[in-house]
Structure 1
């Protein structure tokens, strides 16, 4: 206690707020880090499409910059839409395409999408009628309209993932 009293008043009174601000900053920084996303393991033919898609994806989606999740992979991408929008390429056919009544969603810029609602209130979209499946997860509150980010991704998908089953 005497050591603390021997310090100048500015230091004694300035250190606690500085420590609090530092801790708050570190906590905020850690929350903004890309969330872990398990990359899919596509078959060899699909991997090439996904790697080309990764290179063609936009650097931003509706003003949200690309900030890929970890671990780094050409089969995943993300945008800092707070909460994060995530794209995965080369995954197996999702079950929700088989038994979800919302599975038939509209076409967006000549790309057909299937969709389902997440338990947390967000949506999962997956391309259909393409050589590999590309899934986009849009969390609740990421955009004013949950389907908005798809239009920013369709040109890259059309250019790199061919039509067909």
Structure 2
């Protein structure tokens, strides 16, 4: 079997230099498409897995969440989950519903600042990046709102804006 008979007819019609570049070019394009589709991803957002009534409450909350929060459009992470919502792009505000009870509520941080908005208590924790984590306590499902640094006048603003929806969908 000679070399020319091993080349597909579509490629055999092309000049030799073009044939030599066809495979490396196709591989390069494939790698670029794959790497581009991976993007930065949302691997840093852990998706809660609530069960029973907590899952039902979280799905009801998800259906009630706004498409815009304090001027930032809703841009949920991928893959989509009824237990996670996000607004803005980078940095962004993230809501997670049905999280496990934070261990910090039993430790030295249990007495950290816990602001109350419309009779809903949000336990707060300052994060290493300068943002804040707020967890709605005394509810049938724990709801966490992460507020990025420097985006709002007060880091509590997103949690405060979501308070009526949390109260309406997750009983205390």
Alignment equivalent of 2:87, drawn from 60, 66, 79:
79
Residue 70 (structure 2) pairs with residue 68 (structure 1): no
Alpha carbons 1:38, 1:71 under 8 Å: kept: no
How many residues get paired? 133
1:102 to partner: Cα distance: 5.2
The residue that corresponds to 1:49 in the other structure is 57
TM-score by length of 2: 0.71
Matches within 5 A, 1:105-116: 105-116=114-125
TM-score by length of 1: 0.74
Task: Spell out structure 1 runs of 4+ moving beyond 3 A.
Answer: 101-104
1:70 to partner: Cα distance: 1.6
Q: What are structure 2's unaligned runs of at least 5 residues?
A: 1-35
Matches within 5 A, 1:12-161: 35-36=42-43, 37-80=45-88, 82-99=90-107, 100=109, 103-161=112-170
1:103 to partner: Cα distance: 3.3
Alpha carbons 1:81, 1:143 under 8 Å: kept: no
- Counterparts of 2:94 and 2:159, CA distance in 1: 11
1:76-99 superposed Cα distances (whole Å, 9 cap, x missing partner): 000006411000000110112222
- Counterparts of 1:136 and 1:55, CA distance in 2: 17
RMSD: 1.8
Q: What are structure 1's unaligned runs of at least 5 residues?
A: 1-26
